[in-house]
Structure 1
Amino acid sequence: MTSTSPLVSVILATNRSSPFLAAAVSSVVAQTYPGWELVIVDNGAPDPVALSAVVAGIPRTSIVRVPPPVTVSLARNAGVTASGGDLLVFLDDDDVWHPERLERQVALLRAEPSAPASYCGGWHMDANGRPFAPSWPAVPANATEMLSGTARLPHICGAMLIRRHAFAEVGGFSPELSMMEDFELALRLLGRGTFACAPEELVGYRRHDGNVTGTGIDNVRVRRSALDGILTRHAWAAGARGDERTAALLREHRERERARASHDAGLATLAALRRRRIADAAREARWGTSHSATAYFGAIIGRLTRGGGSRRW
């Protein structure tokens, strides 16, 4: 490919027999931008023969096998190593793309050569592919706004199209992470500059029973702890290298996330008490009061006031 039409390496890591894999691959094949290659990373798929059958006959497609168990971060890094494109994009085995996704984001990076990555909006869909509200827009924001948490980072890793040199410069995905790895990578990429924004809905994110990012209480607890730890570590690292401005932005981001999570913990406390799940209520109370007591009690008081006191939570 030429410098004006760079090769895009699509990295798809899978460790399961996903009933949605064929749809994900088909959405790559249907792209209006022709300059792509597809690297499937098999990091423990139970039926390698069936996996090979899904991509049989698709041009510019290869399968890389890495022995499990490995994190999704290691699997994606292995896919990048096996690829050759100047631009990188990551696709989960249950998501799909708008046909013009690559064309629009490649053009955006061509127009903004200083941007280390671009990101786009998308839509939610159910297991049958039916869209449902709300969609998730991509709102333009600079690196300072994203680092401080006044603007949200890209919704999912798959919404970003990343320059290979920027990915290499920040060291790729942190290999130990199997959750929030996309958020952590985005924080490091922001150190290279502001992302280019494609506000259109170009990625379909599928909600189903097998999602890693489920909304169950145990999953919420793990994710909020991971988020808090990532921001704490990055703020410390920025301070250690003498970048106090970035450290302050990241501490601000952490406090915003703690307030949001403590607010949710307050609501979760009431819900657990209503169901007589005392242990769950106690765990949520400990999180909320230790991280942002103001937000925690504010959520409880607000819910009780709006709900008519203790009669209805």
Structure 2
Amino acid sequence: MMIHELSVSIVIPTYNQAQYLKICLQSILDQTRPDWEVIIVNNFSNDDTIDVVQSMKDERFTLVNFANKGIIGAARNEGVRHARAELIAFLDSDDWWETNKLEIVLNYVNEHADVDLVCHDEWLYARNKKTKVLKYGAQFDYKKLLFKGNALSTSAVTLKKNSLLRVNGFSEEPCLAGVEDYDLWLRLARKSCKMVFLHDVLGYFRIHDDSFSAKIEKHCAHVTCLFDRHFRDWQPKNIYYRFLMRNCYANANRMCGKMLMKNGDPYRQVSKYLRRAISYNPFSWKAWVHMCVCLGRLMWEMLMRFRHVLAYSLPFLLGLKRCRSVVNPLLNNSLSILLYHDIPNHLFDSFRAQMQFLQKHYQLITPNEFEQIARGDKTVVGHQLLLSFDDGFKSNFHVAKEILTPLNIKALFFVPPSFVDCADRVMQIAFMQNRLRLRAMDISGDMAPMSWDDLRWLIRSGHTIGSHTMTHACLSKIISPEELFYEVAQSKKILEAQLQQSIEHFAYPLGDVDSINSVALSLALKHYRYVYSGVRGNYCARSRVFYRESMDLGLGVHYARFLAEGGLRFHYRRAREKLDSMMEKLC
């Protein structure tokens, strides 16, 4: 087979993925091989998908509108029907390729005419960076593929159209939706199609943070359906293979339970799948580990449920005065100030889920309500939370607009004016590296400061703006009184001049107690009514510097509850004592 005959048709199913589709299509345009065509199967997206395709301005791109009814296999089959080439390559609309992917794959197929399918390795792309290499091909015959799991990625596969049609393409049965690719590889392997794995890393597999309970459980049901189909005709069915079959069911349920636990679902829902996994394979140590973690989380939830009993009984039982301060965060009436920084696009769904969880279990107060509490006009009732964001990232504006506003949540935004005034990208990156102390590898393309118009919109929407010094400086290292005044007081003047509003809130950069000294603290308390640190702790009415709980979006909503209720405060006891001592001397 000559190489000029091996043009390839690339099938890309998509639905509301315009923000990723442009990168995907551009990676095809940048290929070193020009003999390709692209069939984009659009499930009637209601975003900018059509505009993105038209912006490519290349006749090799064909847009097909097709209602797949939630079955992506049907969309891929529709793309294959429009394909004109002998080879078919699949690419998901949120993934992309290296520029030499087609050249390497097509050259290999040209040299090995007996090969039916070629798969290569990929980069796992999560949190806006490459995290690890996904190596495929550990199992390539039917038995290993069935009992050891899926070893291919659809976006890394190129195969002959005749081989695909010989097994009637992807399954379009609703009970296999989401696992139709695995089912296809199994049917191809059963037909003895020759699969070859190239260990060149030629693509990027993007991970999203959009897992929901219903989706996870549905995937588990579909994997179970797939195993039912293939085990039904499996021969021989001796004890060994029966054990392997049960182990497959166990792994499917264990992974479902693990994902539900990560998603913050209730114990009963998680344990159902983990118990099922253990019943299929009692020797699965991973299932036992996950069950122990699940039970530990249940014990923590019970502890939180009865925290008011513990708060009053422990000091009495132990007869220790200091014990009261240890369990004080467990009291019914408490106020925690939560601290967030930049929130990348891929974590928006996690942030939304966290906000919905906190709004369901706690009382989220506004900055104005917090001011009334701090002045003594109101008292803390129940477990109340106040949201705050540091550093003035553009993502904070998008979070406020897309997530906080629909949920009717108001927050504090602490901004360094010099970051807002960074005019070009070079200045922004320099500020993030030198002032915000971010590594170059951690600065993504969408990390940028808010504009003054963004801050004005936040004020109009009911949020509150505070100062975060002029340049995000470490105030304890500043010796010059003039420079210290510039960082603390001048930032207030600039914010008030730009926003036409009094600025009464100030947050220390860096957050640790070593960045705070008595000179800078005295100046901050002179110019601002409300001063915040990054030291973990509960709200205390006697204190003039308020503690905050730095939050994490990567470990699920129950870890967020752990942080919000002071799970790590005991590590900061000495820092709070040092800060309290500093304030006592000033008073």
TM-score normalised by L of structure 1: 0.79
Q: Secondary structure at the match of 1:121?
A: strand
Looking at structure 2, the residues matched to 38 and 276 of structure 1 have their Cα atoms a distance apart, in angstroms, of 40
Distance 1:167 1:246 in 2: 29
Paired residues for 1:258-269 under 5 Å: 258-264=249-255
Where does residue 279 of structure 1 map in the other structure?
Answer: 268
Change (3 A) 1:279 1:71: same
* CA deviation after TM superposition for structure 1 residue 190, in Å: 1.0
Call closer, same or farther: CA 1:277–1:146 in 2, change over 3 Å: same
For residues 15-42 of structure 1, the C-alpha deviation after alignment (integer angstroms, 9 at most, x for no partner) is: 2142011110011111112221011111
- Alpha-carbon distance in structure 1 between the residues aligned to 2:276 and 2:269: 11
2:206 aligned partner: 206
Does structure 2 retain, via aligned residues, the 8 Å contact 1:235–1:250?
no
Please give the TM-score of this superposition, normalised by the length of structure 2.
Answer: 0.44
Residue 168, structure 1, aligned to residue 165, structure 2: yes
Which residue of structure 2 aligns with residue 63 of structure 1? 63
Pairwise CA distance, 1:104:
1.5
Q: How big is the shift at 1:288?
A: 1.9
Taking a change above 3 Å as real, the CA distance of residues 246 and 27 of structure 1, as seen in their structure-2 partners, is farther
CA–CA distance in structure 2, aligned partners of residues 301 and 279 of structure 1 = 14
Residue-by-residue CA offset, 1:192-221 (whole Å, 9 max, x unaligned):
3231111111110112345xxx4x554443
Measured after TM superposition, the shift of residue 174 of structure 1 is: 0.6
Q: SS of 1:9's equivalent?
A: strand
Which runs of 5 or more structure 1 residues have no equivalent in the other structure? none
Question: Per the alignment, do residues 69 and 147 of structure 1 end up closer, same or farther by CA in structure 2, a change over 3 Å counting?
Answer: closer
1:131 equivalent in alignment to 2:120: no
The 10-residue stretch of structure 1 (195-204 or 111-120) with the greater mean CA deviation from structure 2: 111-120
Which residue of the partner structure matches residue 38 of structure 1? 38
Displacement, 1:228?
2.1
Which of 1 and 2 has greater Rg? 2
Cα pair distance change 1:293/1:113, threshold 3 Å? same
SS of alignment partner, residue 294 of structure 1: coil
- 3-state DSSP of counterpart to 1:37: strand
How many Å apart are 1:168 and its aligned residue?
0.3
Could you tell me which amino acid in structure 1 is paired with residue 177 of structure 2? S
Provide the aligned C-alpha RMSD in A: 3.4
Shift of 1:145: 5.2
User: What displacement does 1:87 show?
Assistant: 0.6
Instruction: Give me the whole-angstrom Cα distance separating, in 1, the residues matched to 2:123 and 2:53.
Output: 29
Cα distance, 1:10 vs structure 2: 0.3
Aligned to 2:325: none
User: For residue 441 of structure 2, what is the aligned residue in structure 1?
Assistant: none
Percentage identity across paired residues of the two chains: 21
For 2:225, the equivalent position in structure 1 comes to 229
Contact 1:137–1:199 (CA<8 Å) still a contact in 2?
A: yes
Point out which structure has higher relative CO (alpha carbons under 8 A, 6+ apart): 1
Name the CA distance, whole Å, in 2 between partners of 1:126 and 1:102. Answer: 24
CA distance in 2, matches of 1:5, 1:50: 32
Q: Counterpart amino acid of 2:154?
A: C
Question: Where do residues 125-204 of structure 1 align in structure 2 (5 Å cutoff)?
Answer: 125-126=125-126, 128=128, 130-132=129-131, 134-139=132-137, 141-144=139-142, 146-150=144-148, 152-154=150-152, 156-176=153-173, 177-191=176-190, 192-204=192-204
Distance 1:256 1:18, change over 3 A: farther
Partners of 1:249 and 1:88 in 2: how far apart?
Answer: 38
Residues 141/287 of structure 1: CA separation in 2 closer, same or farther (3 Å cut): closer
Corresponding residue for residue 12 of structure 1: 12
Counterpart of 1:27? 27
Decide whether the 8 Å contact of 2:2 with 2:110 is kept in 1: no
> In 2 relative to 1, CA 248–58 (structure 1 residues): closer, same or farther, beyond 3 Å?
farther
Alpha-carbon separation, structure 2, partners of 1:67 and 1:127: 31
Give the Cα–Cα distance (whole angstroms) in 2 for the partners of residues 106 and 166 of structure 1. Answer: 16
